[in-house]
Structure 1
Amino acid sequence: MDRTVSHDYREIDVPVDGGSLHVGVWDAPHAGADTPTVLLVHGVTASHLAWPFVVERLPGVRVVAPDLRGRGRSNGIEGAAGMAAHAGDLAAVLDALGIEHTLVVGHSMGAFVSVVFAHLHPERVARLVLVDGGLPLDVPAGLSTDELVAGILGPTAARLSMRFASPAEYLDFWRAHPAFAGAWTPELERYLAYDLVPDGDGAFRPATSYATTADDTVDMNTGTALPDALAGLRHPTRLLTVPRGLQDEPPGLYAPEHLERLLGEYPGVRHERIDGFNHYTIVMSPAGADVVSAVVRQELAAT
């Protein structure tokens, strides 16, 4: 469990097609009818515990963040994933909590899910904040599933097939990760430990399966849900990108030339390049969360 100074944290399970979606809820103390709400949607192999840095910088705001199907404690849901399935799950979460519409913030794959959610359930979304994701990636056509996953996620995908003798061994694996050099925190340790589940043979594995990751990666890059959603984009949308990627490598997920083409194609998207961060630390570090939470507060004020 995680509890921030500014919020009361609880966990709920929401029935969805194929099983139960696990959701973290950070309630603002003394909340009333006018308390704003933000729905946070994590990345492709992450969980709701990617968000505590951002949450603690949003006092007075109710924050809702699910483990997407196939991830975290939602990894037992049966049936296919994909952007539309995730969008349906988000609608079920809002229904369960009695939330009519809300600001939606998505990171990485969560940004793609958020765009599709806004398209399929437009009345539920007030505004969108996309953090290093949500617009098409620059990937060659004709790649096989494995080639596509490896090309986008690299070692992140390979990790899903690894086994670890203990949580401590898993943490040691991540300590050597270039994205978190100088950015290791207790919150990050809790997030990583939460990711582990028993493999049935006395060891541990990441909660997200490779098959689920592959299905989602193919859908968000070659399926019709995302282009259809972007073609019909009507919600105020703000995109934050960073100059370094999943391995802390330049130019990140969106090379400048590719991003310039995208912004020309989708002129309604307001873009900001945030220097000094990689794909992970823009959300999972104190300094990155300072930036993201400030944008969230601005978008809440505009709602």
Structure 2
Amino acid sequence: MSSHDYNRYRVSVSGGELSVGVWEPVAYGPGRVPTVCVIHGITSNHLFFAGLVSALPGVRIIGPDLRGRADSRLLGPPFGMRAHAEDVLTAINAFAEPGPVTLVGHSMGGFVAMTLAGLGAGAEPGAEVADRFRGPVLIDGGLPLPVPDTEGEDDAEAPDDLNDRDLDTDDLIAAVLGPAADRLSMSFGSVEEYLAFFAAHPAFVDGLDTVAAESFVYDLAAKDDHSFQPSTSIEAMQADAADMYTGDAYQSSLAQVMGSRRRQSEVTFLVAERDLVASEPGLYPPDLVDSYRQRWEAMDVVDVPGTNHFDIVLSEAGIDACAEAVMVRLGVADDGALN
């Protein structure tokens, strides 16, 4: 028997409707149902978390499709971390009971989660908004990324101030996302052709499991000529890629959350060993991760060996690590209600 009942809904946000998947637990203890909001990456969708959902029995999972993606693909600008955070907040308010919600973000979703976590960080002590969120649990994302090497020089550090850098959005996308960005301009003659594309991807050399395959199929949008294309808006990807580096809302929230030792201690950062094409080092090189350990000593950093940027939320080892991190946050937030 499944651990959750799944349904998909639409909620009104600026410019239209946001699609939201909700997994309700089929069994849970007395009192408030612990709730998690999962936030996907820049070219992904909420179904990418289905494996993690199965590892969280008794927990409500809210998973929006961010604007410009999947079933929310018709939602246009504004894009950027603040716009996504406000959309996610609308989804949380629609489906979560009053009380704390644990934020979980993978890849760009970590930046959205951090932005949302910081929106209430400056509230007056005791204000409900200040304690609305727990975490975030950041899965190979959500902390400042290294500036990509676009001129042949090795630069693995994430500088505190990017205002003096001449960052070209196209260079950022090519260096960080690579084939993931190229895929958005491609057409596919069938669903099977699209799945074959991923089966040949170096990040999925062990094959596509059911969760990955269903997420990729859900991602496809039909065209008038009966072919298919990935649903993510190129405009959304370009705007969001730049905003992850230079967005004021994200930077302000990062400072708010990490500037408080209590809030910092609630952040868990899970790091994949390999990057988007399963090469080493990962998206966050070891030297950079070590610098974050020293800079934010109260933050929990979890290395997840043997995983790449994608299968950290798909493989058994990755799901186990992510689920454990989430359960720890839920235990703190709900006073041991899951024990």
Same fold (TM over 0.5): yes
Measured in 1, the distance between the counterparts of 2:290 and 2:96 equals 39
Structure 1 residue runs without a partner (length 5+): none
User: Does residue 184 of structure 1 match 2:208?
Assistant: yes
Change (3 A) 1:263 1:227: farther
User: Does residue 161 of structure 1 match 2:161?
Assistant: no
Tell me which moved more, 19-28 or 200-209.
200-209
Question: Given the two structures, how large is their TM-score scaled by the length of structure 1?
Answer: 0.95
Change (3 A) 1:19 1:265: same
Structure 2 residue runs without a partner (length 5+): 122-128, 149-164, 334-339
User: Does residue 286 of structure 1 match 2:316?
Assistant: yes
Measured in 1, the distance between the counterparts of 2:74 and 2:272 equals 33
Residue equivalent to 1:137 = 145
User: Does residue 10 of structure 1 match 2:7?
Assistant: yes
User: Does residue 276 of structure 1 match 2:274?
Assistant: no
Measured in 2, the distance between the counterparts of 1:201 and 1:114 equals 37
User: Does residue 219 of structure 1 match 2:243?
Assistant: yes
Among residues 26, 47, 53, which one is paired with 2:23 in the alignment?
Answer: 26
How many residue pairs get aligned? The number is 300
Measured in 1, the distance between the counterparts of 2:224 and 2:304 equals 42
Shift of 1:74: 0.5
Shift of 1:30: 4.3
Measured in 2, the distance between the counterparts of 1:256 and 1:210 equals 31
Residue equivalent to 1:249 = 279
In structure 2, what residue type is equivalent to 1:95? N
Measured in 2, the distance between the counterparts of 1:17 and 1:263 equals 38
In structure 2, what residue type is equivalent to 1:112? F
Shift of 1:268: 3.3
8 Å Cα contact 2:3/2:27 also seen in 1 = no
Query: After the TM superposition, which residues 54-65 of structure 1 pair with which residues of structure 2 at under 5 Å, given as runs?
Result: 54-65=52-63
In structure 2, what residue type is equivalent to 1:86? H
Shift of 1:269: 2.0
Residue equivalent to 1:103 = 102
Q: Kindly name which structure, 1 or 2, has the bigger radius of gyration based on alpha carbons.
A: 2
SS at structure 1 position matched to 2:115: helix
8 Å Cα contact 1:71/1:208 also seen in 2 = yes
8 Å Cα contact 2:36/2:104 also seen in 1 = yes
Query: After the TM superposition, which residues 123-134 of structure 1 pair with which residues of structure 2 at under 5 Å, given as runs?
Result: 123=129, 124-134=132-142
8 Å Cα contact 2:68/2:74 also seen in 1 = yes
In structure 2, what residue type is equivalent to 1:252? G
SS at structure 1 position matched to 2:250: helix
In structure 2, what residue type is equivalent to 1:13? R
8 Å Cα contact 2:47/2:215 also seen in 1 = yes
1:52-105 Cα distance to aligned partner (Å, 9 max, x none): 100011111111111011111001112221000011011101121243330111
1:18-62 Cα distance to aligned partner (Å, 9 max, x none): 111111101011456422111111111100100110001111111
User: Does residue 117 of structure 1 match 2:116?
Assistant: yes
Identity %: 40
Change (3 A) 1:271 1:13: same
Change (3 A) 1:30 1:271: closer
